[in-house]
Structure 1
Amino acid sequence: MKRVRSPLHVFPLRAIALATCFSTASGLALAQDEAQGQQLLEGIQDGERVEITLPDPEKQLPLDDLRKFTEVFSRIKDAYVEEVDDRQLLESAIKGMLSDLDPHSTYLAPKDYEELEESTSGEFGGLGIEVGMENGFVKVIAPIDDTPAQKAGVQAGDLIIKLDEKPVKGMSLEEAVQLMRGKPGTILTLTIMRESESAPIEIKVERDVIKVTSVKSRMLDNGYGYVRITQFQADTGSQFLKALGSLEDDHGSGLDGLVIDLRNNPGGVLQAAVETADALLDEGLIVYTEGRIQSSRLRFSAKAGDVMADTPIVVLINGGSASASEILAGALQDHQRAVIMGMQSFGKGSVQTVIPLDENHAIKMTTARYYTPDGRSIQATGIKPDIEVRPAELKELDSQPFFTEADLSGHLEGQNEGDQPAKDNESEDSTTASLTDRDYQLRSALNLLKGMHILNRKSNGKAASEGQDSAQ
């Protein structure tokens, strides 16, 4: 009678080979631990008494757990309902190792690797939102300016619970992102939970090729410039300097004040944030990073020269300001170079390093935390604004105009009455006016800058007057 062995009890040669590899790796690890020296014993080698170092048990590879891994690998290969490719299983294991560390560490397959390079270069396909995971759902960190998502009404803080008819719960972030990407012109329905809404809402977004302009600028008022940084790309630092130069050319001289808008800026390239901060600081530390390995311990300092020559600056932030935008805001805040206004930022204070495995594969892994010049870690806490200003809608009240002396019949004529400006300034830029009318936080920033400029002017005038008195 032929004996048949159940496949569940067979330990294939493949698993044995894996276990052998792990055992060899464990032996190498033990040799390294021995070199470090945890406990010394005496022994005899070649007739001479020598000291033998025993490894630290806590630093050894967990051999029992590795055996468990090979056992699970073997069981899946032999008993899963469908045949599974070895490479697929091993890649899934790598993904699991990284995704369980933190929300920002991940394995980059060829397509993911390519998309990461596209996003930092400034052109990619999709909806135009920066996302993360929270409690199993996709959370919108920030919609990117002038993209389909932003135009459709997606907001920072929204929780996406369904993509078309597919529930997000149980998906990995990579799987959700793949569903959001697609052919330009196709429609994706997002089902969203929002704090201000009692029930889920549906937003239809048309996919498009996303071309992100990193820096935008304009004049808000005579002498007051506005720079919007949507995200930090490789060339953002040079674009920022170019925008400042353009604003000064438009004004004809140095600016009286500057608003830097970092709201809903999800971050990006660390070096770009450092270059932007360097342009506005004359000296001192900008940011430093701390990690376990030497290469993750970096310090970035400003070179001499503030291109804005002490022009008052207000930086706007909110809950969608993350990562590199928090580096810039934190550096300017610690050096008291700018007033930070708005709402508390997102709080992503970690640095991810892309480590290539070969030409087409890489891992993105958290390797360090970053700290502001004063040593603050903003991980999970964010940057707290100097002046908190919540978003609000402004509505002017209709009221009857007040009568003045000039409206009285037979009033005594003033010496400069004929030089009074018209009540309605028709030369005012209606687009700029509507921008500050719609945006309460931006209007607050502009008003603060005007107040700072007036105080500086009076202070400088008083100092000049005192100088003349002392000279006499």
Structure 2
Amino acid sequence: MKVSWAKKGLWLSTGAILGAFIVLTSSVLADNAKQPATTPSEKVISQLPLNELRAFVEVFERISKDYVEPVNDKKLLEGAISGMLSSLDPHSAYLSPENFKEMEEHTTGEFGGLGMEVGLEDGFVKVVSPIDDTPAQKAGVKAGDLIIKLDDEPVKGKTLAESVKIMRGKPGSKIKLTIVREGVAKPIVLELTRAVIKVTSVKHKLLPNGMGYVRISQFQLRTGPDLLKAIKKLEKENKKPLNGLVLDLRNNPGGVLRAAVQVADTFLNSGLIVYTKGRVKDSQLSFEAEKGDALNGRPMVVLINEGSASASEIVAGALQDQKRALIAGRNSFGKGSVQTLMPLNNGGAIKLTTARYYTPSGRSIQAKGIVPDVEIDRVKVEKLKAAEFARIKEKDLSGHLLNDTKSKSGAAKDKNDLDSLLANDFELYEALSLLKGMYFTQQMGVK
């Protein structure tokens, strides 16, 4: 992986939205925390809007003196900082010293809570995506859900950080979420039990016909190396190289930019992966692939949906532009901005949007998302009852001859696996069908 940048030491997050779970590198936080906060230059001071600052001081004094109850000055100032950042975009935010410390703890991939990526929309908490094998996912929380109440407390009027703080809590304790879901007339009430969330970002499974399946739930520091290990395990189980791979990025909210680059680089031999552009030199980055395709050119299908955001979109966009994989599913979330974490002297930090990222062909997916090459609609396949289509067969006839050959257990297993896929995950079933077609086309030498 080749990277060019204007200044080393810039750390970026492509996680979908500051929320119940934030992914950043541990070394990001450590390196930045050591940097002393800088003082404004004379040029900046001379450009400050003095009339607006006078108004700010006047409002501060009025609240301090005249508000119905005494207000802590620190709370007022932190609220002003938070408001300044939240007025920019949904991803810029102020982290108090307490929240900043919690973020550092979350970089290990283990944390307490409900296990979902959230943001703020129209004053309500919006679920970007639930994380695999967490209380949120098990309770049936879905991408796009709007949380309007936490227990019996309305969300409207709270900051995202305040709502997230309520959702966190002691493992084993319960919380009630009232959710509004598109297409459902009445609000849905779900009770979740908080847990220590241990995120395994890479999971794998061998599919029929020597095809591999890798699921990446989010992009953490170790995701790139774990992906390579998963592919090697699949090949060992298959006893030969895989015939193809389904890379599942559905409901993946994003994470560390570097991890996304490593994942894309795993399947590319050369070429641009992603580049970023912003107002300052530090935000000009460009990442290129190095030689070494882990699949040696064998076909790939990447699954995405409306919950695939940010780092997921970087990977899908790079593999799509480089014509390395077929992208299947539904339009992705559409987060094409990059955030930089900037520690402050008070022990807190600001997470500031500093750049947009672009796919190799120069596409910005901001507010548009990645459009799949093959669209797969949401459907549920149900097996008809035998009585609905029953017909008499040879085996039902009295005195029929027995079959004198033994069935192959491998073929039977493959059929059972496919039946299970069709019933439980139609999108993956369709992806596997596409992959098989790509493999046979490749074997026939059709370009």
SS in 2 for 1:288: strand
- Quote the offset at 1:29 in angstroms: 3.6
Structure 2 contact 275–285 (Cα < 8 Å) conserved: yes
Structure-2 residue corresponding to 1:150: 137
- Indicate yes or no: 2:434 matched with 1:444: no
Aligned amino acid, residue 315 of structure 1: V
- Indicate yes or no: 2:125 matched with 1:135: no
Structure 2 contact 92–353 (Cα < 8 Å) conserved: yes
Structure-2 residue corresponding to 1:55: none
| Equivalent of residue 82 in structure 1, options 69, 83, 93 | 69
* Whole-Å separation in 2 of the counterparts to 1:248 and 1:186: 42
- Quote the offset at 1:62 in angstroms: 1.2
| Equivalent of residue 341 in structure 2, options 354, 358, 366 | 354
Structure-2 residue corresponding to 1:264: 251
- Indicate yes or no: 2:263 matched with 1:276: yes
The 10-residue stretch of structure 1 (370-379 or 83-92) with the greater mean CA deviation from structure 2: 83-92
Q: Counterparts in 2 of 1:381-396, with a 5 A limit?
A: 381-396=368-383
* Whole-Å separation in 2 of the counterparts to 1:241 and 1:383: 25
SS in 1 for 2:212: strand
- Indicate yes or no: 2:386 matched with 1:400: no
Aligned amino acid, residue 449 of structure 1: L
- Quote the offset at 1:231 in angstroms: 0.3
- Quote the offset at 1:451 in angstroms: 1.2
Q: Counterparts in 2 of 1:338-349, with a 5 A limit?
A: 338-349=325-336
Structure-1 residue corresponding to 2:287: 300
* Whole-Å separation in 2 of the counterparts to 1:443 and 1:25: 57
Structure 1: segments with no counterpart, 5+ residues: 1-23, 32-59, 412-416, 464-472
The 10-residue stretch of structure 1 (71-80 or 260-269) with the greater mean CA deviation from structure 2: 71-80
SS in 1 for 2:345: coil
- Quote the offset at 1:92 in angstroms: 1.4
SS in 1 for 2:312: helix
* Whole-Å separation in 2 of the counterparts to 1:25 and 1:374: 38
Deviations 1:416-463 (A, max 9, x none): x96574699544485675244311100000111111111222227xx9
Structure-2 residue corresponding to 1:378: 365
Structure 2 contact 132–217 (Cα < 8 Å) conserved: yes
Structure-1 residue corresponding to 2:442: 456
How high is the TM-score relative to the length of structure 1? 0.81
Aligned amino acid, residue 383 of structure 2: E
Aligned amino acid, residue 336 of structure 1: K
- Indicate yes or no: 2:274 matched with 1:287: yes
Q: Counterparts in 2 of 1:3-402, with a 5 A limit?
A: 28-29=43-44, 60-358=47-345, 360-397=347-384, 398=386, 399-400=389-390
Aligned amino acid, residue 167 of structure 2: M
SS in 2 for 1:248: helix
SS in 2 for 1:130: strand
Aligned amino acid, residue 330 of structure 1: G
SS in 1 for 2:118: strand
The 10-residue stretch of structure 1 (77-86 or 350-359) with the greater mean CA deviation from structure 2: 77-86
SS in 2 for 1:222: helix
Structure-2 residue corresponding to 1:15: none
Deviations 1:259-302 (A, max 9, x none): 00000000000000000100100100000000000000100000
Structure 2: segments with no counterpart, 5+ residues: 1-38
SS in 1 for 2:315: helix
- Quote the offset at 1:153 in angstroms: 0.6
For the pair shown, the structure with the greater C-alpha radius of gyration is: 1
Structure-2 residue corresponding to 1:18: none
Aligned amino acid, residue 164 of structure 1: D
* Whole-Å separation in 2 of the counterparts to 1:144 and 1:129: 5
Cα pair distance change 1:74/1:223, threshold 3 Å: same
SS in 1 for 2:255: coil
Aligned amino acid, residue 454 of structure 1: F
Cα pair distance change 1:173/1:128, threshold 3 Å: same
Cα pair distance change 1:410/1:78, threshold 3 Å: closer
SS in 1 for 2:191: strand
Aligned amino acid, residue 325 of structure 1: S
Cα pair distance change 1:351/1:142, threshold 3 Å: same
Structure 2 contact 381–422 (Cα < 8 Å) conserved: no
Structure 2 contact 174–191 (Cα < 8 Å) conserved: yes
Q: What is the aligned-residue RMSD (CA, Å)?
A: 2.7
* Whole-Å separation in 2 of the counterparts to 1:186 and 1:98: 32
Structure 2 contact 336–364 (Cα < 8 Å) conserved: yes
Structure-1 residue corresponding to 2:23: none
* Whole-Å separation in 1 of the counterparts to 2:378 and 2:100: 37
Structure 1 contact 391–439 (Cα < 8 Å) conserved: no
Q: How high is the sequence identity, in percent, across the aligned residues?
A: 56
The 10-residue stretch of structure 1 (396-405 or 215-224) with the greater mean CA deviation from structure 2: 396-405
How high is the TM-score relative to the length of structure 2? 0.85
Deviations 1:102-139 (A, max 9, x none): 11111111221123223332111100010011111111
Count of aligned residue pairs for this structure pair:
406
* Whole-Å separation in 1 of the counterparts to 2:382 and 2:247: 25
* Whole-Å separation in 2 of the counterparts to 1:186 and 1:29: 49
Structure 1 contact 189–205 (Cα < 8 Å) conserved: yes
Structure 2 contact 100–348 (Cα < 8 Å) conserved: yes
**Higher relative CO (CA 8 A, sep ≥ 6), structure 1 or 2?**
2
Cα pair distance change 1:439/1:141, threshold 3 Å: same
- Quote the offset at 1:72 in angstroms: 1.0
Deviations 1:340-394 (A, max 9, x none): 0001000011001111113731111100000000000001110010000012111
Aligned amino acid, residue 400 of structure 1: A
- Quote the offset at 1:91 in angstroms: 1.3
Structure 1 contact 26–61 (Cα < 8 Å) conserved: no
Structure 2 contact 418–429 (Cα < 8 Å) conserved: no
Structure 1 contact 105–363 (Cα < 8 Å) conserved: yes
